[in-house]
Amino acid sequence: MWEFDEPKYFYLLALLPVVLLLFLVNLYWQRKKQREFGDLALLQHLSPEKSTFKPVLKLIVVLLGLAALIVALVNPKIGTKMETVKRQGIDIVFAVDISKSMLAEDLAPNRLEKSKQVVSQIINQLGSDRIGIVGYAGSAYPVLPITTDYSVAKMYLQGMNTDMVSSQGTALGDALKLAASYFDNPQTSKLIIMLSDGEDHGEGFEDALEEIKDKKIKVITIGIGTEKGGPIPLRHNGVIESFKKDQNGETVITKLYPETLKTIAKNANGGYVFGGSTKEVLEYVKNGLDNLEKTDFESQQIADFESQFQWFLGLAFFLLLLDAFFLERKTAWVKKLNLFNEKNKA
């Protein structure tokens, strides 16, 4: 199995057609100047040792050398087998509020983007824990199942937006139930990290808390927003056109309700932290993780990936060095073969 360490360098392959075009333009310019100077057949007799094939051969060698050099920069790797790797950690599910109220900008740049920043920074400080992601508004939506691939998790995290769930509101109970269903190993320590402004418009979360208690799941809640609150901007092409209004035409002010989040955390043997300071959140979560027992679990992954760049780098240097030794005059033994029927032309 192949994988590429730096696939972005494949874009450099676009330089090869440019080199070829420059060669053709230069060849055209030379022929044009030769015609202005005199008869082409006479010029060929005046320089009998000049080869028409060698410049083309030199170009091919240079192009192959550059292509090999670009592949070396990409650094292809070969994975030889699948192996079972034993890891030690816990299972963590991030439940991220993606309701429209998360567009409020009382936390910069807005509540949703602040949530993404916090989750991303938490992931950065994890070791070998498994993680999953749930999004929720008026209902809960599975974003990413339990995985150890943090890069994929960050990609899905950045793609989350308020249009992922059509029903609006903040169903904290549905989010907790869906997050609880992610845990597939009864022996592993389990943690839900819930990020929200606490505006619960669902039917309550008492049933979800009972399920969480039965499964011995710990919940840390992170308050995203301010108690002073702020309006919900309505944008078009990135520009704020107005703010969300209620039925009476008044601008809606959405606020942080920490008591709701504190209640969830207290009943799930966890804790609450305000999300305004990412540093404080990271310290709080780290302390929470340190108090959880790490358990062993197994995962399958491709093993023995080995870099192959050195082969392509060696080939590139060889071809470019070979080009330096190629002269544009005819080679004696090739001339004897008369491959281009030059003697008959003479």
Cβ atoms of 118 and 127 closer than 8 Å: no
Shared domain for 211 and 327, answered yes or no, is no
- CA gap 178, 140 in Å, rounded: 7
- Considering the domain architecture, whether residues 31 and 139 belong to the same structural domain is answered as no
**Same domain flag for 204 and 173:** yes
177 and 291 belong to one structural domain: yes
**Which pLDDT score, from 0 to 100, does residue 94 have?**
98
Q: 119 and 205, same structural domain? A: yes
Backbone angles phi, psi at 93, to 5 degrees: -120, 125
Same-domain status, 340 and 209 = no
pLDDT in tens, 289-304: 988 888 776 665 555 6
What is the chain's mean pLDDT, rounded? 85
The pLDDT of 130-139, averaged and rounded, is 93
Specify whether 31 is located in the same domain as 162: no
Are 98 and 191 found together in one domain?
yes
**pLDDT > 90: percent of the chain:** 52
Domain count, the chain: 2
Query: Do 199 and 111 fall within a single domain?
Result: yes
- Structural domain boundaries, residue 61: 2-79+306-345
Same domain, yes or no: 132 and 250: yes
What is the CATH classification number for the domain harbouring 248?
A: 3.40.50.410
Say if residue 343's pLDDT is above 60. no
Whole-model pTM? Answer: 0.63
**At what angle are helices 111-124 and 278-290 packed, to 10 degrees?**
40
Region of poorest pLDDT, from 70-84, 141-155, 167-181? 70-84
My answer on whether 195 and 265 are in the same domain is: yes
pLDDT at 275 (0 to 100): 95
| 155 and 214, same domain (yes or no) | yes
* Statement: residue 43 has pLDDT above 50: yes
